[in-house]
Amino acid sequence: MSQFASYPSLVNRTVLVSGGATGIGAAFVEHFARQGARVAFLDIDADGAEQLIAGLPDVDHAPRFLPCDVTDLDALGAAIAQAREAIGPIAVLVNNAANDVRHELAETTPADFDRNVAVNLRHQYFATQAVVPDMQSLGGGSVICLGSTGWMKRNAGYPMYAMAKAAVHGLVNGLARDLGKQQIRINALVPGWAITEKQERLWLDEDGKAAIEREQCLPGYLRADDLARMALFLAADDSRMCTGQDFIVDGGWA
| Contacts (Cβ under 8 Å, ≥6 apart) of 203 | none
Q: What is the DSSP letter of 194?
A: B
In the chain, the number of structural domains is 1
Residue 63 lies in a domain: yes
b/e sequence 18-56, b meaning 16+ C-beta within 10 Å: bbbbbbbbbbbbbbbbbbbbbbbbbbebeebbeebbeee
Asked if the structure places residue 2 within a domain, the reply is: no
Alpha helix stretches (DSSP H) within the chain: 23-34, 46-54, 73-87, 110-117, 123-138, 159-180, 197-202, 206-215, 224-235
- Residue 161 a catalytic site member: yes
Overall pTM surpassing 0.85 (yes/no): yes
What is the average pLDDT score of the chain?
95
> Residue 1: what pLDDT?
57
Structural domain that includes position 24: 9-247
Kindly report the CATH number assigned to the domain that includes residue 228: 3.40.50.720
Distance in angstroms (rounded) separating the CA atoms of residues 96 and 98: 6
Sheet-wide strand order for 14-18: 64-67, 38-43, 14-18, 92-95, 141-146, 184-191, 246-249
pLDDT over 80 at 87, yes or no:
yes
In a domain, 252, yes or no: no
Among residues 7, 125, 158, 161, the one annotated as catalytic is 161
* 161: in domain: yes
Residue 193 has pLDDT above 90, yes or no: no
Confidence of residue 254 (pLDDT cuts 50, 70, 90): low
Compute and round to an integer the Cα radius of gyration of the chain: 17
- Rounded Cα distance between 56 and 192, Å, is 27
Please report the pLDDT score of residue 188 as a whole number.
98
Residue at 253 is within a domain: no
Q: 3 in a domain, yes or no?
A: no
pLDDT tens string 238-247: 999 999 999 9
pLDDT tens profile 95-127 = 999 998 888 999 999 999 999 999 999 999 999
Measured between alpha carbons, how far is 154 from 177 in angstroms, rounded to an integer? 29
Task: Identify whether 194 is part of a domain.
Answer: yes
Q: pLDDT per residue over 30-40, tens digit each?
A: 999 999 999 99
Answer whether residue 69 shows pLDDT above 80.
yes
Distances (CA, A) of 227 to 94, 134, 186, 193: 12, 25, 16, 11
Instruction: Provide mean pLDDT across the span 215-237.
Output: 96
Domain membership flag for residue 254:
no
Compute the average pLDDT of residues 71-91. 98
